[in-house]
Structures are given as structure tokens and as C-alpha cells.
Amino acid sequence: MFESRQKVISNQYPAWKYLLLLIAIILGGIYAAPNLFGDDPSVQISPAKSVQFDDATQGTITQALAEAQLEPKAIGYENNQFLIRFHSADEQLKARSVLKETFGRQAVVALNLAPATPDFLRSLGGQPMYLGLDLRGGVHFLMDVDMEAVVEKTYLRYVDEIKGSFREERIRYLSIDYDTDHLLVKFRGETIPETAEAVLNKQFPGEFTLTPVENEAAWILRLLPITLKEARTYALKQNITTLRNRINELGVAEPVIQQQGDRRIVVQLPGVQDTAKAKEILGATATLEFRLVEEKGDAYRAQKTGYAPNGSRLYQFRDGRPILLKRSIIVSGDNVINAQAGISSDSGSPEVNVTLDGVGGRKMLATTKENVGNRMAVVYIENRVETIEVNGEMVKKRSTTKDVINAAVIRGQFANRFQITGLDSPQEAQDLSLLLRAGALAAPMEIIEERTVGPSLGQDNIDQGFMSVIVGFILVLIVMVWRYKTLGMIANVALTLNLVLIVAVLSLLQATLTLPGIAGIVLTVGMAVDANVLIFERIREELKISSIQTAIHAGYEKAFVTIADANITTLLAALVLFSFGTGPIKGFAITLSIGIITSMFTAILGTRAVVNMLYGNKPVEKISI
């Protein structure tokens, strides 16, 4: 005699699954919460190069604000920067003017919007997600790199090299001049020396094409297309690196700096309110020069009379002390390929270890070989464009500063590797190494397009995007409750948790939320209930032939494969969008991908846990679905 035994299904989760769900809810709430507190209008104060803040600096800030009858919300100090928060934008603007006048060139004073996250959330690592330019407001610049200047600069760099090579080999030439897209080399006499071509091929192998000029002892030298292409590419990449370091002075969170085409750079600065300051920093050009010190002249006399001896120029240290330098430049910042700050093993003082390219190394070797015991100076040259008000109109004022930041004795001959010592502090060494690596623009740039997205427009976008999420969310809640009763309400709880987890993950990743990102969240809201619809419809079908406990179990188990297939294919599409898309498309793909993963978690594990708590292992006679 045989008996059919039906497996008893209790629909109970092990304790670890409930614990996992509880941890996800707590962590999601903690890391999503910072987005509820908004931003404080703030003023950020960063030290200028070679300037260090100390305890007295905060007293100076407090006194200046008190005299202006301004009471800040809070004053914070972190990473050698002060962040002063205010209650309103009016106080912020007034404080910026006061502090800018107080510090002058000793500090960079910029407007900012600082997250108003409470201290206890910040101590747990909670930070709000960044808002993109279309939501937060800010400025958009399209900058054009002067590639014609890059070509000219590349050719001119070879002029001195060729002249030096010809002098070493005693080749008599008349002139070497740059003309549009080539170098014209003229020789003395009626014939070209036989050794000239051999010298060029040896010093510059595979870099030039030589074309003789008819009826003249001259050559036309043209750089190969691949050499010019490399020069243009380097200039573009170097300018991007320089811009990124300069934008750090503004304290901009999540700036967008990317290449567009083969000569343009897009710069987006979300949250920047002081567009004039942004343009000043982006437009400033800086470079370095290494020159020998003119030891014979009297610098103080030259400063007093205004005349420097022949072959020299008058410069000043940052503290105002005069110094005479020779007119000829040994190498410039263009020849530096690497620079690292460190501590001297001999004296324990800060130093910068510099590495030059081949051209710079040869020049430095030739110079130091003949000038051991003499001094060599490092000159920092910066061109700035300041926007000032003249007769009620904003005009640009261009200024150039030339400061000697170091003048050290040459202890021995060296080439492409050497140390700069005599620096005041490790911070100055860090600043100098950064400047040497990426302080100079490789080519001039012009701002050809400027768009400002005002905070009001950004707030309108936020409000409209937020409203779209809310409307979509409420409609889904209503439909689910109407269609699936109690189980629909459970799905709505899971959908709410899903939204919280999406925001929490975006905040943890410090992702930038844009309008397309909000569109991805809205789409996720609609898709998130798909899994529950499949499960609940399966439960309805199983209730016709099975018990309640069996129907619940079968609904979740049998619908899982279909749910996984649908979400995995959508996730793959989102990954493709992220891989091949740019800008807004990436933002959409990120939020969609995160939404798919969190919806799988909440729709399957989350709702199942609640259903098990309500109906699992209980004598249930009816289920509301």
C-alpha cells in the first residue's frame, strides 16, 4: 500500500536573511539621509602658493567678519583650507568681498555651496550625491587650443637645437628661421656642407624631411606629420592636466574636464557662482624659466636706477629682494617631464627632484659644466586676467608677475636629473613640484563659448525631476494596491526601500546626478514592480490548484528565472550604454544599473521576507491578493 506524501512548506527565512535585510535598511537610511539637508552658502579660502595657514589665520577671519557685522554659521578647517558657512547668499557675497580684501594675494577666496550634512552623519562617511551642471547650476566653457601656436612653438624649439648642433660640428650657416609651416636653413657660401645632413640625421633621426631650395644654398625642413600630431596631442593633454589642477583652487566638486575633438576642451563647473573668478583661473598662463644669476652686477643699484647691466635683467624674489639674472634661458618648464617633492638626505630640508627631457638635459649639462660655483635661479612667470569694474562696466585687466622662487649654487655638473633646494617649507616644495609637472599651459587657449546655468534654473530642474519621480511613484503605489491588495502594499514598501537604496548607493559612490540620471530613476520605479507583478500573478494561478503556503512558495520559486532573465538583459543594455556612451548617457546608465540591482534585491528578498513574516508557518485560510 502506497501513500502520497506532500512536502510540508512553511515559508520561513533563516535568521541571517532577516538580518541582511535589516542591515540593508539601516545602511540605506544612513547614507541616503545626507541628501535631505541641502547646502549652505559658503566661502572657501585656500592659501596661495608658498603660503601656509596657522592658528592666527582663523583669528584674522573671525575678526574681519566681526568688523563687517557678519556672523557665520560655522568655520571649518580641513586640508589646509578654511570653509566658512553662512545662513544666506547675501551674507556669503558680502563675506567674500570682505575676506578678499583682507587676504589680497595671500589666498584664493571663492564662493561655494557646502553640504549641510550633520556631523554625526559625516563621521559615518555619509555625504550627499553630487548634482550635475543641469541641476545645481554653474558654468560651462568651451575652450579652443591654439594649435597653430603649438606648431610654431614646436618648430622654434628645434631652431636652437639645430644651431647648437651646427656650432659643435663647425658647420657654417647664415640663418635658421621659422616660416609658417617649415624651417628655412641658409648656409654660407654657394654649397651645402656635406656634414650638415649627417648631423641632422644623427641628432634628429626620423623627425624632418629635407627639401633643397633651387638655385640657393638652403634647405626647407618640415617636421613629419606624426611628430606634429604628437605635439598637438601632448599640448591638448597637458592643458587638460593644467586646467584640472587650477580648478582645484576653486574647490569645485566633480568638475567635468574632457577633450572635444582634436583641439577643444569642455569645462563644466557645477555649483560655481563666481564665474569671473573661474575665467581668471582658467585663463591664467604660467611657466617656469631656469636662468643663471649675474654675479658681477649690483642688483640693488639696478633696482634704484632702473637700469640693468648689458646681458642681464632685473628680477625680484617674492619678498621683494632684487636679483640680476642673465638674459639667456637655460631651460623652461616645457622641458620638465617629472618633478617630485622630497626631503634632502644631507640637510633634511625640503627639495624638489626634477627630471628633464633629452633636449633640456643637454642644455643643462652644457650650462652647469661651465658654471660650477655660480648660482642658477628658478623664475616663476604668471599671466593673469582679472575682471574689474571701470565706470560701471566689467573689463578685463591683464597682468604679469615674475618672481624668483629659488636661487641655488651649482655644486657640480648635471644633466636631466637634479634637485632644487633652498625652499622655505615642504608645502612650497609640493607646490613647486606640482607647478613643474603641470603648471604651464602647453599652448594658449581661448574661451569661445560660455554658458551659465543659474541656480534658479537648476532648482527648477530639480523640482520638475523630483515631481516626476513622486508622480510616477504614487501612480505605481495606487495601481499595486488596487490590483493586489495586501501583497500590493508589501510591494509598495519594497519600492520605497528601493528608492532609498538607489539614493544611498549613488551617495556612497559620490556619483553625479543629472537630469538623465533622474530619468533612469523614474524608469526604475516603473520597472521595479515588474518582478512583483510576475510573482503575484504566479501566486494567483497556484492558488487555484494548491494550498496558500504552496502557492506562495511556487510563486517566488517559479517566477525567479523569468525575473532574472528580464533584469539581466536590461542590465547588459545599461552596461553597453555606460561603456560606449558619454556624459548624460553614462548618467542614465549608472542610475538604471543601480536601480536594476536594488530592485532585484527588494522585490525578491524584501517582499518575500515580509510575506513570510505575515503568512509563513501559519494556518492561513485566505490571502488578500
The CATH number that applies at residue 519 is 1.20.1640.10
Domain check: are 441 and 466 in the same one? no
Domain check: are 605 and 551 in the same one? yes
Q: Please report which confidence band the pLDDT of residue 26 belongs to, taking 50, 70 and 90 as the band edges.
A: very high
Domain check: are 506 and 463 in the same one? yes
Domain check: are 24 and 160 in the same one? no
User: Which domain does 370 fall in, by range?
Assistant: 284-448
Mean pLDDT of the chain: 80
Average pLDDT over residues 587-598: 87
Q: How far apart are CA 609 and CA 616, in angstroms?
A: 9
Q: Is residue 403 part of a domain?
A: yes
The CATH number that applies at residue 94 is 3.30.70.260
Domain check: are 78 and 216 in the same one? no
Q: How far apart are CA 401 and CA 284, in angstroms?
A: 11
Domain check: are 554 and 491 in the same one? yes
Domain check: are 409 and 520 in the same one? no
Q: Please report which confidence band the pLDDT of residue 6 belongs to, taking 50, 70 and 90 as the band edges.
A: very low
Is the pLDDT higher at 391 or at 195? 195
Average pLDDT over residues 573-598: 83
State residue 398's pLDDT score. 57
Is the pLDDT higher at 22 or at 433? 22
Domain check: are 26 and 43 in the same one? no
pLDDT at 603 over 50: yes
C-alpha triplet 511, 513, 518: angle, nearest 5°: 135
Average pLDDT over residues 260-266: 86
- Report the domain count for the chain: 4
Q: Is residue 12 part of a domain?
A: no
Residue 296 sits at φ, ψ, to 5 deg, of -85, -30
Given 185, 209, 226, the domain boundary residue is 226
Least confident residue range of 155-159, 225-229, 344-348: 344-348
Q: Is residue 83 part of a domain?
A: yes
SS3 assignment, position 368: helix
Q: How far apart are CA 453 and CA 139, in angstroms?
A: 6
Q: Please report which confidence band the pLDDT of residue 399 belongs to, taking 50, 70 and 90 as the band edges.
A: low
pLDDT at 81 over 60: yes
Domain check: are 322 and 386 in the same one? yes
Given 385, 418, 448, the domain boundary residue is 448
Q: Side-chain half-sphere of 251: how many Cα atoms within 13 Å?
A: 23
Domain check: are 89 and 46 in the same one? yes
Domain check: are 288 and 309 in the same one? yes
Domain check: are 307 and 394 in the same one? yes
pLDDT tens profile 441-481: 777 777 777 776 665 556 677 777 778 878 888 888 888 88
Q: Is residue 123 part of a domain?
A: no
pTM of the predicted model as reported, rounded to 2 decimal places: 0.58
pLDDT at 565 over 80: yes
Q: How far apart are CA 549 and CA 77, in angstroms?
A: 60
CA-to-CA separations, 382 to 126, 287, 327, 344, 406, in angstroms, rounded: 39, 7, 18, 28, 16
